[in-house]
Amino acid sequence: MSLQVEKLEKNMAKLTIEVPAEELEAAIEQAYQKNKGRIQIPGFRKGKVPRKLIEQMYGKSFFYEDAANALIPEAYEKAVEECTETIVSSPKIDVTQIEAGKPFIFTAEVALKPDVTLGQYKGVEVPAADTAVTDEEVDADLNQQRENNSRMVTVDRAVEDGDIAVIDYEGSVDGVAFEGGKGENYSLAIGSHSFIDNFEEQLIGKKAGEEVDVNVTFPEEYHAKELAGKPALFKVSVKEVKEKQLPELDDEFASEVSDFETLVEYKEDIRKKLGEKKEEDAKRAKEDAAVEAVIAQAQMEIPDAMVETQQRQMLDDFAQRLQMQGMSLDLYCQYTGQTQASMLESVKPQALKRIQSRLVLEAVAAAEGIVASEEDYENEVKRMADNYKMEADKVKEIMGENGKKQIMEDLAVSKAADFVRDNAVEKAAE
C-alpha cells in the first residue's frame, strides 16, 4: 500500500491510497466465492458457475463493489497509522481506479487536527460565585422533605384544589360513549391538569357521594382525530376525597427522616450539605467560565468535517442511551416530531464547544508540560474497575495500549482544566 497526502484549505486533507493489484485480485476472488452460491445460470448447478463466465455475462465490474468494500476499511486504517497528521473526522471516500490487473486507488477526504494559538490562559477573569446558604434555602429543603413524607388522608368535606378525588367517570360525545372515556376508582389530582380542559375545576366543591356532569371540549390538536375539537359530557361520581397531610417540623420528624435526633441538628446538616453542593457547583461554573475565556482569546480554524463527526458521535451516544431504555432513535423521533437531521443540527453548538474546549486544554497542557502520571492512570483504572465491577487487570486488558494512551490524554486534559480554573481570577459583579 502507498499513501500520498495533499493538504487542502481549512485544515482538510486528501489521502490518496493505492492498494497493489494482487490484493485487488484477491478481493475480487473473495467476492466471487461469497456470491457464487446466489448466482443461477442455466446449464450450471447453483454455486458452480465459473467466475469468468459471470464476468462475461454481467461485465468485469460485477464483483468490484464488494471487492472495494472489503479493501477500503483495512487500507484506510493502515493509511491513518502511516499518516503523520492527526485525523479528526470520518473520511469521505471516493474510488478513483478499480480495474482487474491494476492497482486499486481511492481517496479519503479528512479533517486534520487544527493548530491552536493560545492567548491569555492564566489569570483569566471569571464571575465570582455566591456559595452562602440562606435560611430560605434550608427551609425549602425541609419543606421538600415534608412533601416527600406526606400522606393522603380521607376527609369528609368538599373537594378543594390540591386534593385527590377518587372518581368513576364515563364520557360521551353527542350521546355516544367513546373508547378510553370510562374509568373506575380513578385517583385524580385536582390542579394537576392531567385531564382535559377544565375537567378538574368542575369537581371543586363536590363531596363524596355526589354526582356531577362535567362539560369539556377536546383540544383541536387532540391525538384522537374523531374527538378533536368536539364537546364532551362526562358523568362523574365522586367516591372519596383525600387531602395531603404534611408531618410536623419537630424532633420526631428529624429522627424519622435523618440520622439526627433533633430538628436543630438536622437543619445544620442540611445547611452543610447545601453548602457543599454550592461549592461544587461553583467549582464547575468557574471551570466552565475560565475555559470559555481561554477559548475566546485563542485562535484556531476548526474544519466543518470535524464538527460534523462530533455531532454524529453525540447522536450515536444518545441513540445508545435510548437503546438501553428499550427505545430506538427512530421511535424517539416519531414521538418528538424530530428528525435525525434536526437533532444533528440542534447539537451543533454543543459539538463545536466540546471541540474548542478539548483543543485549547490540550494546548494548555502542552504549554505547561502537564501530563498524567502512572499513578493517575492506576487510580483511573481502579475507578473504572469499581464502576464496572471488574478486576483492574481485566480493565487494562480490554483497553489495551491504545485505550491507555487515550486515558492518559484525557487525564492530562482534565489536569489542564484544573490548572486554568485554579489560576482564574474571580471578579465580583459590579
Least trusted range by pLDDT, from 39-48, 109-118, 129-138, 419-428: 39-48
Cα gap 358→88, rounded to integer Å: 12
Instruction: Calculate Rg over the CA atoms of the chain.
Output: 33
pLDDT band, residue 44 (cuts 50/70/90): confident
Residue 423 pLDDT > 90: yes
Cα gap 423→425, rounded to integer Å: 7
pLDDT band, residue 325 (cuts 50/70/90): very high
In 190-316, DSSP assigns E strands to 211-217, 231-245
Please report which helix (H) or strand (E) contains residue 364, including its range: helix 348-368
Q: Can you tell me the mean pLDDT for 12-33? A: 95
- What per-residue confidence (pLDDT) applies to 43? 77
The residue that leads in pLDDT, 112 or 48, is 112
pLDDT band, residue 25 (cuts 50/70/90): very high
Could you tell me the residue ranges of all domains in the chain? 2-111, 151-245, 302-360
Residue 130 pLDDT > 80: yes
- What per-residue confidence (pLDDT) applies to 337? 86
pLDDT band, residue 102 (cuts 50/70/90): very high
- What per-residue confidence (pLDDT) applies to 429? 67
Average confidence score pLDDT of the chain: 93
Asked whether 197 and 216 are in contact (CB, 8 A), the reply is: yes
Topology adopted by domain 151-245:
Chitinase A; domain 3 (3.10.50)
Cα gap 412→422, rounded to integer Å: 15
- What per-residue confidence (pLDDT) applies to 247? 94
Cα gap 132→275, rounded to integer Å: 7
If you count DSSP H runs as helices and E runs as strands, how many of each does the chain have, helices first?
A: 12, 11
Residue 47 pLDDT > 80: no
- What per-residue confidence (pLDDT) applies to 428? 77
| Domain over 2-111 is classified CATH 3.30.70.1050 | yes
Q: Can you tell me the mean pLDDT for 82-88? A: 93
Least trusted range by pLDDT, from 68-72, 113-117, 191-195: 191-195
Q: Can you tell me the mean pLDDT for 26-54? A: 86
Winning range, highest mean pLDDT, from 94-103, 218-227, 328-337, 386-395:
94-103
Q: By C-alpha distance, which of 414, 410, 421 is closest to 294? A: 421
- What per-residue confidence (pLDDT) applies to 225? 85
Asked whether 240 and 175 are in contact (CB, 8 A), the reply is: no
Q: Can you tell me the mean pLDDT for 124-143? A: 94
The pLDDT tens digits for 168-217 are: 999 999 999 998 899 999 999 999 988 888 899 999 999 999 999 999 99
Helices 348-368 + 304-324 axis angle, to 10:
110
Strand pairing report for 125-127 and 151-154: unpaired
Q: Kindly state the DSSP code that residue 192 receives in the 8-state scheme.
A: S
pLDDT band, residue 358 (cuts 50/70/90): very high
Q: Can you tell me the mean pLDDT for 362-387? A: 95
pLDDT band, residue 21 (cuts 50/70/90): very high
Confidence (pTM): 0.75
Asked whether 324 and 335 are in contact (CB, 8 A), the reply is: no
Residue 158 pLDDT > 70: yes
Q: What are the Cα distances from residue 337, in Å, to 142, 223, 227, 314, 325?
A: 40, 13, 21, 19, 19
- What per-residue confidence (pLDDT) applies to 36? 85
- What per-residue confidence (pLDDT) applies to 430? 63
Q: What are the Cα distances from residue 113, in Å, to 306, 366, 416?
A: 8, 15, 19
Residue 355 pLDDT > 80: yes
Residue 335 pLDDT > 90: no
How many residues can be counted in the chain?
Answer: 430
- What per-residue confidence (pLDDT) applies to 293? 96
- What per-residue confidence (pLDDT) applies to 221? 84
pLDDT band, residue 114 (cuts 50/70/90): very high
Share of the chain above pLDDT 70, in %: 100
